[in-house]
A and B are shown apart, each in its own frame.
Chain A
Amino acid sequence: MRKRLDVLICAGANCVSSHSLDIKKKLEEELEKNQLKDEVNIVETGCMGPCQLGPIMIVYPDGSFYIRLKEEDVSNIVKEHFLKGRPVKRLLWTTPEATKVIEEKKKIPFFEKQKKIVLANCGKINPENIEEYIAVGGYEALAKVLTKMSSEKVIEEITKSKLVGRGGAGFPTGLKWKFVKESQGDEKYVICNADEGDPGAFKDRAILEGDPHTVIEGMAIAGYTVGANNGYIYIRAEYPLAIKRLEIAIEQARKYGLLGKNIFETNFNFDIELRMGAGAFIAGEETALIASIEGKRGMPHQKPPYPAQKGVWGKPTLINNVETLANIRHIMLNGGDWFSSIGTENSKGTKLFALSGKVNNTGLIEIPFGLTLGEVIFDIGGGIPKGKKFKAIQMGGPSGGYITSEFLNLPVDYKEIEKTGAIIGSAGMIVLDEDNCMVNMAKFFIEFTMSESCGQCTPCRIGLKQMYDILDRITNGEGTLEDLEELEILGNQIKSTSLCALGGTAPNPVLTGLKYFRDEFIEHVVNKKCRAGVCASLFYAPCVNSCPAGVDVPRYLAHMTAGRLKEAFLIHMEHNPFPSVCARVCPAFCENPCERGKFDESIAIREVKRLFADWATESGVEFAPPQKLKKEKVAIVGSGPAGLSCAFYLTRLGYKPVLFESLPVPGGMMQVGIPDYRLPKDALEQEIKRIVKSGVDLRLNSPVNSVKELKDMGFDAIFISVGAHCSEQLGVKSEELKGVIGGIEFLQDISLKRKNINLKDKKVIVVGGGSTAMDAARTALRVGSKDVSVVYRRSREEMPAQASEINEAMEEGIKFYFLTNPVEFSGNKRIEKVKCIKMEFKGFDKSGRRRPIPKEGSKFEIEGDLVLLCIGQRPELSKFSEELETNKNGTLKVDKVTLETNIKGVYAGGDAVLGPSTVVEAVEQGRKASIFIDKFFGYDGEFSFPQRDIVETSFNEDEYLKVIPRKTPKLEEIEKRIKSFVEVNKGLLLEEAIEESKRCLKCDRGKEIYREREKIVGELEEVA
């Protein structure tokens, strides 16, 4: 009797490790309990693909795709779905974008772009039952070949198909079969290479565990074609599940007469024996594999002779990869032309890939050649988890290389991938994000190949060890620039002189690492910095490592656990004199890599900071000006965060700097660009006052016209920090209409009260997606407009503004038009309408973001009385243009290490150098400049902050090593918010901040005294 429902449970190795077989057992129990045993058919299948979501279960005929099942879920599914016909929605697969649960398998983005030929049966049939294989057409190809095709015809079809080896070398399969067939010999052999040892590769195991007969059939066809009666499958011992399934399959095939004598009543005999490896990666190399089968040490030998002439036992041998053999029967059934119609010019058919690493949908996929890498990672793979930034794909295992974001539009194709320096190889794609260190990865791969080297040839045996030692020193902070050169020389030498492909390709991860991520390697050796926060010897704690100013976060958090506000404040001031400002507006780079975030949620560092920052403001803590002043005079142009920071740190170094500000108020963008509801003016003013009182001569309403002017006034060194206050233009028609102004200019007008602005009954359109756009939109709301829209050309996920800003803006009733771009302004002398076009994503741009292109025929209009352009800012440098060199993008050109401009003694920093960035980055530049100015005068650039002691602190594991959500501050009520500029974020209470600090895992425990890190290492000469 045909059963009503078929329930497929994935029993591939990954799901089995997630206890899918326990789910099956529970299901059997529940079916028994509910008397459904006769109506529901349970099938244990091979790998279904999305390994991260296991245990997986699919119910047919409706195609419901259940994921991440637990034993408790089973009875629910049986009752609701099997008995009552209602699939349990909360257990079905949803993707991050899908607001609707995707109920059918074929609509799931993971599967939509795949094309399953090799994996056609995987996940559909029970691999331990040959009858299911036969029922879906298994062994038909073998029958056809044995009874209707000559071996020449077989080779002809395979040659037509243009199938190439799927093990990594990509040698044309038709040609290889021809060589073996034509080889002289009475005895020939067919070997299936199932020694899949490349880290990151798990495609072959899926085929063997999910559809072993497809490989057996392929081998039999191969045997017939080349004239071999015996086959070996060489499989690594680390795959016990695959071994078991193969043993069962071979046994069943023999029983059914598909292996053995007179197959299909022809006079073709063929049988297969299993051979196991024993933990030697090199045994995957064909000559080493042969040696291993012969019972010897698995060491490769020189080629020629090739196995096709002299293989196992000295006889002609055909060696093919599992996936190659799995393709054969399809080509026999559908023809070579069919196969070569799939794919690209150079790469035909489909390819299996194993996705792992930092991608949402890890697992096994099969795609036609020609799909782009971006589609694989972002559509099928579902993108990078936790909103992190994509860094690179490591493809091809230890023989491979890196593919960076500029190649995301590249089609998956042997030749195209090779152009980047990577190879498809064993088809493992390890996705890396911003938290991965490329130097560390390079070291890891070399460690692997070094330990798997068979030892025969000197370049590999000794050379790889040399490379490893160099990389080890670099990750421990002892590397030099010469080491990088040495790595390249060694790498190339090893590649060209090694005996086999292990040595021949082992240097690739290092060489491609140096090619695409040279900056990171240089940072490791020159700056002793690991930007990803991985090489533990190079950083103190991940939060400090990510803070552009290097503020000692763990130390002040430690003080905060005991409520020591003053000590916490003083530590912050050593690196950043704006705790109050940053507590409110910093994007909190420190919170991103917070280790606590991997456990539950990252520490709310910014919110904790606010407590001691506001305390300091209230209690009026001051820094006394230096008692003895150094004789040199320093001028600073621009009193934004860079200028004020430079001024403060210069006072700590013994100077009395003169700070020139052209506006009537100090603070730069902090004062005029960030509205009060985010940064209350008195908080800012107190911090500026504190800096001025520390010994700064602040001169307002004092514009500077040239460097020469300052030099004439007798200044010995100058720091230029004029910021970037000019709004960029869109470059569209009629941009000069009245009512189209820059967002920054609008914010400045309001904060300086230059114009009395009331936007009652006015429609406002803000163009842009960053903080300035959010500030402009929310300010427009607060000065009377009830109709504010934001137009942004990308999607919400890509908006550069902080998530909290976007949420708060939406709460306040601001409308958002995503994937929309203005193309024309229209009106009679004054703006009346903005014509926009909808955008859609097609491919990726060089930075790895989806590329928006205009959607044909989707123009529409929005009415507007005021348009605020917030698409970026440029520095206004016309006054200095004759004296100072600029970069192509209009920012000031400075030395990367010292921040010196082309004029000796003249330094620059902040937005004027970086382009629009953040307060904390400007602060870092100001502080750095102060050090180099001090050195310029011949002093040592060392601050006289109080000597640090070890802070006594403890961590109560029982209380704090469990899931504790992060504290979030209360926000002002929406009605109150939109009527005034009252501060929106009310901040945490002191008790809450203390509790929050106690969650810190103290990653700095046991590390050297922080002061050691202050040494800025040398000055870079010519950095290639």
Chain B
Amino acid sequence: MTKEKIIKSFEKKPENLLLALHSLQENNVNHYLTKDDLMEISKYFSLPYSFVYGVASFYSMFSFKPRGKYIVRVCKSPPCHLMGASSIIDELKKVLRINFGETTKDNLFTLEFSSCLGVCGVAPAMMINEEVFGNLTPQRIRKIIEEKREEK
């Protein structure tokens, strides 16, 4: 769907702003919002550009930088932390060879921290896009990343 079609699918009510931002970001294969996106939204909803930017930048799930195809969100909340998230974090950095906040050179993976994912029963956990992975160990991490690479 083109950007215009997506935006037009929403009623011109300011309450649809967040949904519109989500949709535009999802529509972009690199999971981010461009200046152009924000401009279009600002025009369509008749809201100042600065206002749209202010809303988008408040929420941590919106990115203004291009990201990878797979967004790896690692939970670093206390339950995951005390069940060993730090070794998961180290392993991911090692396997993907990037730091948190960065994207791999082939644009496949972006590594991010997340707040509690709500799956503490299987801590430590992470999400890759919408898929949840729990009971992680360094071995499982390697396997999961391999599988994602192959899914290309």
Contacts and interface: CB of A to CB of B under 8 A. Distances in A.
A354 B121 contact: yes
B95 interface: no
A18 B135 contact: yes
Contacts of B62: 278-279
Interface stretch (A287-295, A712-720, A853-861): A287-295
Contact of B121 (A239, A277, A280, A363): A363
A205 B125 CA distance: 16
A498 interface: no
Interface in B42-82: 54-55, 58-62, 73, 77-79, 81-82
A364 B14 CA distance: 37
Most interface-central of A238, A280, A354 (chain B CB within 10 A):
A238
Contact of A276 (B22, B60, B114, B132): B22
Given A200-B79, A294-B14, A237 B119 contact: no
A295 B121 contact: no
Contacts of A364: 121
B118 A280 contact: no
Contact of A199 (B13, B21, B77, B131): B77
B108 interface: no
Contacts of B134: 14, 17-18
A237 B61 contact: yes
B14 A295 contact: yes
Nearest to B84: A598
A197 B116 contact: yes
A51 B121 contact: yes
Chain B interface: which size bin? 35 or more
B131 to A, nearest CB: 8
B78 A199 contact: yes
B145 interface: no
A394 B59 CA distance: 28
B87 to A, nearest CB: 9
Given A52-B121, A199-B79, A298 B59 contact: yes
Interface in B91-132: 114-123, 125, 127, 130-132
A851 B52 CA distance: 61
Contact of B19 (A275, A298, A430): A275
A18 B135 CA distance: 8
B79 A356 contact: yes
Given A14-B122, A281-B115, A295-B16, A237 B22 contact: yes
B122 to A, nearest CB: 5
B48 to A, nearest CB: 12
B77 A200 contact: yes
Most interface-central of A50, A237, A278 (chain B CB within 10 A):
A278
B15 interface: yes
Interface in B1-47: 13-19, 21-22
B139 to A, nearest CB: 10
A130 interface: no
Given A197-B116, A297-B55, A202 B121 contact: yes
A530 to B, nearest CB: 14
B78 A445 contact: yes
Interface in A679-736: none
A17 B116 contact: no
A276 B13 CA distance: 16
Contacts of B81: 444
Interface residues of A, number: 57
B22 A199 contact: no
Contacts of B141: none
Contact of B61 (A278, A296, A357): A278
A298 B59 CA distance: 8
A452 B123 CA distance: 21
A884 interface: no
Interface in A594-633: 598
Contacts of A357: 79, 82-83, 120, 123
A240 interface: yes
Nearest to A238: B117
Nearest to B75: A199
A626 B105 CA distance: 64
B82 A436 contact: yes
A51 B118 CA distance: 12
A200 B120 contact: yes
A241 B127 CA distance: 12
Contact of A279 (B59, B130, B131): B59
Contact of A278 (B16, B60, B123): B60
Contacts of B83: 356-357
A80 to B, nearest CB: 27
A196 interface: yes
Nearest to B116: A199
Contacts of A281: 115
A784 to B, nearest CB: 52
B69 to A, nearest CB: 17
Nearest to A536: B86
A295 B82 contact: no
A200 B120 CA distance: 6
Most interface-central of B61, B62, B73, B127 (chain A CB within 10 A):
B61
Contact of B82 (A18, A358, A428): A358
A293 B60 CA distance: 16
A266 B134 CA distance: 47
A394 B78 contact: yes
B118 A239 contact: yes
A281 to B, nearest CB: 6
Contacts of B130: 240-241
Contacts of B121: 14, 50-52, 54, 202, 354-356, 362-364
Contacts of A201: 116, 118, 120
Given A51-B122, A297-B58, A357-B79, A238 B127 contact: yes
A295 B17 contact: yes
Contacts of B114: 238, 279
A445 B77 CA distance: 8
Nearest to A432: B82
Contacts of B122: 14, 17-18, 51-52, 54, 362
B119 A202 contact: yes
Interface string A245-281: 0000000000000000000000000000001111111
Contact of B115 (A18, A197, A239, A295): A197
A196 B118 contact: yes
A482 to B, nearest CB: 27
Nearest to B120: A356
Interface string A194-228: 00111111100100000000000000000000000
Nearest to B16: A295
Most interface-central of B14, B16, B77, B118 (chain A CB within 10 A):
B118
Interface in A433-476: 436, 441, 444-445, 448, 452, 454
Contacts of A358: 82
B123 A356 contact: yes
A16 interface: yes
Most interface-central of B120, B125, B132, B134 (chain A CB within 10 A):
B120
A198 B61 CA distance: 17
A13 interface: yes
Nearest to A204: B118
B15 A17 contact: no
Nearest to A441: B78
Interface in A121-145: none
22 contacts: A14-B134, A51-B119, A52-B122, A198-B116, A199-B120, A202-B118, A237-B22, A237-B61, A277-B59, A278-B21, A278-B60, A278-B61, A292-B18, A295-B13, A295-B15, A295-B55, A296-B14, A354-B121, A356-B123, A362-B122, A430-B82, A454-B58
Interface of B: 13-19, 21-22, 54-55, 58-62, 73, 77-79, 81-84, 114-123, 125, 127, 130-135
Given A298-B58, A357-B120, 11 more contacts: A17-B135, A201-B118, A276-B19, A278-B61, A294-B14, A295-B17, A295-B55, A297-B54, A298-B59, A354-B120, A356-B120
Q: Rank and list the top 4 A-B pairs by shortest CB-CB distance, nearest first.
A: A51-B121, A199-B77, A295-B17, A278-B59
